[in-house]
Structure 1
Amino acid sequence: MFLTIATRSSVPDVPATDLGFLLHKNPARPQSVEVAGGTAHVLYPEATAERCTAAVLLEVDPIGLVRSGRGRPSEGFTLGQYVNDRPYAASSLLAVALGKLFRTAMNGRCDARPALAATAVPLEIHIPALPCRGGPTLATRFFEPLGWTVDARPIPLDPEIPSWGDSRYVDLRLTGTLRLADALNHLYVLMPVLDDAKHYWVDTEEIDKLIRAGDGWLAAHPDKDLISHRYLAHRRNLTDTALDRLTEAEGDLLEDEPATEVGDDLPGPATSAPHVSSGGGSASSSPSLAAQRRATVLEVLREIGGHRVGDLGCGEGVLVAELLKDGRYDLVVATDVSSRALAQAEKRLHVREMSERQRERLRLFQSSVTYADGRLSGLDAAVLMEVVEHVDPPRLPALAKAVFGAAKPGAVVVTTPNSEYNVRFEALKAGGFRHADHRFEWTRQEFREWAEGVCATYGYLVEFRPVGPVDHEVGAPTQLAIFRKGEV
């Protein structure tokens, strides 16, 4: 089995052969390392200043794999331990080999070229035979939100007999501009996930591997549940633990906005991919945009006053936890359309361990912002933080009617991405959204027009504020509106 990683020179005086520095493997010298059940080789089919390709070849010994106790006796018949696709198709074996060959590169370290290690570079990855339970569609679902352009083509069972149909393998090509460390970690996690099989016993140590390799991207991935479930061999107890830890990580991760530079979660001119983790650089003393957004919303709620507040579309309860810490609120209502998110919120908030008085302050229930819900009546203030952009545009009038017309809180705080700021994220494709689930992203003028239309219809007054660093040309990364009841 093998894969290739290629790059081209995109910066003057930086030859493509610097890929060798990033991988810690000299293009002039093939290298080999022994891994479980075989030998992994790194060699360079091409190495010029303009373009460089590193190939990883894994020679698997099926007999040695079984003798080591790492074979899979449940392949359907006894000889299946020896006669299978493992020598030919990418799998968890290749993922393990990547981890052993490129451990330092996966950690984002390169003492010889530290600036290059922190920079997104043009990459092309080719895996000729990847087992993919779910087909090309699932491969695209997994890789595309991470900034890759995906070309996944099913491999026919027999090209000479088309009627037999396609096999469970795909020929996968990924292109994108990302940090090499992130690219390697994507492969390390997602190859065995797409294969939906592992050649070794999965225990609690695999949770640590998943969290470590998924740092900076998995917590915000729209398919994190499925990825975690498959990576941990469908063991529900391990998956629940992993998701709990990812939820904690997501508290400080921008779910819908690209991080900027390694070591800095604050928005600014980007040199790295949308999902780059801060783990590869020095820690920043400034709070992330997600933290700034929550702090701004909390400050606005204190300005508004009142004792009954609601977080509509609360997700996994990060803002709710902050509201419950503030004794001024007698009632905190938290709703979301996702039962999974509510279950995670309940765990985050430790609802079962709450005292009776604490539990009386919280109302946590499933509800949609596009349907009127009588349980939301009587709120002094309601928050829609990064919610409206997840609603299909034809349903926005229903959202306005349910929130402003039916629930009628004394005030409503709405935050949403400012699409004009997207040009500051180099790795974000022109016209692309910051998150795979976004249905739209507004400019400042579009947000203003929507807000003013709501006010005219439902009798509110509106004030606008920026959230995050303000760019003199494109504004702030997040825009916020404060609606207060007024006169039509």
Structure 2
Amino acid sequence: MQLTIQASGDNVQAISYLLAKNPNNLYERNHKGHLVRIFYSKFTETELEVTIFVTPDPIELLKNNSNSYDITHYINDREFAVSSIFCSFIRSALGTALNGQPKEEHLKWVNHPFSFNFEFGPVVSSLSDEKLMNLFEPIGYEVTISRPEIEYSFPIKTKSSARYLSIKGMKTLQEGLRHLFVLIPVIDNYKHYFIDEKEIEKLERYGEGWLDLHPLRDLIYRQALRFKEIYSLVENSSNDEKKVEPVKKVRLNELRYEKIVNAVSQLKPRSVVDFGSGEGKLSVQLGFVEGITEILAVEPSESASLKALERFNKVKNKEKFVIPELLWGSLFYYDERLKDKDVIILCEVIEHIDESRLPKAMDTLLHDYQPGALIITTPNREYNELYDMEEHLRHNDHRFEWTRAEFRQWCTERNHSNEYELLFDGIGEEHPSHGFPTQMCIFKRKED
């Protein structure tokens, strides 16, 4: 992870005072186990180059985390990519510059513009090159995006999916850093820390004077405040100021649960299996469906199961709630307890499994367990175009994503014994040509 700040022109040496970092010394601090270094590679009367370099401790990133020994925890790019983690590591080191509070004799340089070039990377983002450029160009930057050339001994690809960004513009140091501290987490595929009201305050503080006027303002807020309630911008009619207020919106995940629960209710089951139940969000909602007397929540992840247990305990005393039973299990291990249930559910599960392994799992489900109905949901790849995604898949753990035609064909092939009636549907906001963001199929056992 690194950010290099280059500046040219008269008086550029004043930037060292704004950074509060002596060009003759190496700045090196340990930030919660992660090493932050700042050093100058160029320092003349007309040119300056300073690099902020972070060496994270990958063990420290997982320490005191329940995922540490989880069999479902995968190696990822968090130790290497410039991301929300990077911003949190360097915030204290750049606090003087971010807040515009150098020593009094240097205050005159806070609002002085310099010819800056900010280079940072690698970044790993689902946003397209065009969208990345549209984040920086409206606020006065010339943007260059590059990808490292790579050579494999076997044919995969010739360029890395990681990108390096260079943005040039006439800015004050404080402006440039605040732009980066708002937009780097927006570029990031996800944030690593808890998002609360302080995030809104930070956006308002760092975004003062430019964010409200940005043409992609709504995208920036959605990306910056993801995994929290969706926030929208509203006009304050009393003083004509824009502010952020929480607005409860229905997210796609909630729509999935609602659709599945409605489908289950119509089937009128007594027993339900939630396969890949995760943290138990769907299982809890199933616990309130009238007529259900048994819910088996099957999940391979111990940490997710513990969170599900906490979720169940919070509502276990509510009237008419059926407490789900947690089972450690997998689609690839036969479990006698799952046989002959009324409904089995796979909500956003199959795309996390290699396609070649799915037929055997489906045979186990349909012909060994023989449920009264099997409900499957999975992403619709055709809808991804509307998300302006750089990568083809919505999540880095997805092994595939199917078009509507591919999903229909696969479901038909898996029903090779013709024991089930297939009912196809969609979830979310339908697009005239791309369909629904999520597709669903109900395998309903035919009556004898």
Q: Same fold (TM over 0.5)?
A: yes
Shift of 1:210: 9.4
Which secondary structure does the structure 1 equivalent of 2:444 belong to?
A: strand
Shift of 1:276: 9.3
Shift of 1:454: 2.0
Partners of 2:189 and 2:98 in 1: how far apart?
A: 14
In structure 2, do the counterparts of structure 1 residues 356 and 2 end up closer, same or farther at CA, with 3 Å as the change threshold? closer
1:220-272, CA deviations, whole angstroms, 9 ceiling, x for partnerless residues?
Answer: xxxxxxxxxxxxxxxxxxxxxxxxxxxxxxxxxxxxxxxx94566xxxxxxx7
2:36 and 2:90 in contact (8 A); partners too: no
1:417 aligns with 2:411: no
1:294 aligns with 2:257: yes
2:269 and 2:343 in contact (8 A); partners too: yes
Shift of 1:327: 4.7
Partners of 2:296 and 2:343 in 1: how far apart?
A: 10
Shift of 1:211: 9.6
| The one of 393, 406, 410 aligned to 2:355 | 393
Could you say which residue in structure 2 is the equivalent of 1:477? 437
In structure 2, do the counterparts of structure 1 residues 186 and 273 end up closer, same or farther at CA, with 3 Å as the change threshold? closer
Partners of 1:300 and 1:394 in 2: how far apart?
A: 29
For 1:208-223, list aligned pairs within 5 A: none
| The one of 362, 387, 391 aligned to 2:324 | 362
User: Normalising by the residue count of structure 2, what TM-score does the alignment of the two structures yield?
Assistant: 0.57
Could you say which residue in structure 2 is the equivalent of 1:372? 334
Could you say which residue in structure 2 is the equivalent of 1:95? 91
1:439 aligns with 2:399: yes
Which secondary structure does the structure 2 equivalent of 1:480 belong to?
A: strand
Partners of 1:326 and 1:385 in 2: how far apart?
A: 17
Letter in 2 for 1:294: Y
2:221 and 2:231 in contact (8 A); partners too: yes
Shift of 1:370: 2.9
Which secondary structure does the structure 2 equivalent of 1:396 belong to?
A: helix
Could you say which residue in structure 2 is the equivalent of 1:126? 120
1:189 and 1:214 in contact (8 A); partners too: no
In structure 2, do the counterparts of structure 1 residues 210 and 72 end up closer, same or farther at CA, with 3 Å as the change threshold? same
Could you say which residue in structure 1 is the equivalent of 2:308? 345
Partners of 2:14 and 2:187 in 1: how far apart?
A: 20
1:455 aligns with 2:415: yes
Partners of 1:304 and 1:347 in 2: how far apart?
A: 28
1:99 and 1:188 in contact (8 A); partners too: no
- The count of residues paired between Structure 1 and Structure 2 equals 319
Partners of 2:318 and 2:37 in 1: how far apart?
A: 56
Which secondary structure does the structure 2 equivalent of 1:350 belong to?
A: helix
Letter in 2 for 1:306: P
Question: Which ranges of structure 2 fall in alignment gaps of 5 or more residues?
Answer: 40-51, 55-87, 101-116, 133-144, 150-161, 168-178, 202-217, 234-243
Which secondary structure does the structure 1 equivalent of 2:442 belong to?
A: strand
Could you say which residue in structure 2 is the equivalent of 1:309? 272
Partners of 1:2 and 1:288 in 2: how far apart?
A: 34
Which secondary structure does the structure 2 equivalent of 1:96 belong to?
A: coil
Question: Which ranges of structure 1 fall in alignment gaps of 5 or more residues?
Answer: 7-26, 42-56, 76-83, 105-122, 128-138, 154-171, 194-206, 216-259, 265-271
Letter in 1 for 2:287: L
Which secondary structure does the structure 2 equivalent of 1:364 belong to?
A: strand
Which secondary structure does the structure 1 equivalent of 2:291 belong to?
A: coil
1:383 aligns with 2:373: no
Quote the RMSD (CA, aligned, Å): 5.1
Letter in 2 for 1:289: L
Partners of 1:396 and 1:356 in 2: how far apart?
A: 38
1:429 aligns with 2:419: no
Could you say which residue in structure 1 is the equivalent of 2:45? none
Letter in 2 for 1:483: F
Partners of 2:307 and 2:118 in 1: how far apart?
A: 37
2:300 and 2:329 in contact (8 A); partners too: yes
Which secondary structure does the structure 2 equivalent of 1:325 belong to?
A: coil
Which region of structure 1 is more displaced relative to structure 2, 333-342 or 388-397? 333-342
In structure 2, do the counterparts of structure 1 residues 64 and 373 end up closer, same or farther at CA, with 3 Å as the change threshold? closer
Partners of 2:32 and 2:442 in 1: how far apart?
A: 61
Which secondary structure does the structure 1 equivalent of 2:378 belong to?
A: strand
Could you say which residue in structure 1 is the equivalent of 2:3? 3
Shift of 1:185: 3.3
Max Rg structure: 2
Partners of 1:97 and 1:189 in 2: how far apart?
A: 24
Letter in 2 for 1:440: F
> Percent sequence identity over matched residues?
25
1:469 and 1:477 in contact (8 A); partners too: yes
| The one of 420, 425, 443 aligned to 1:465 | 425
Shift of 1:32: 8.0
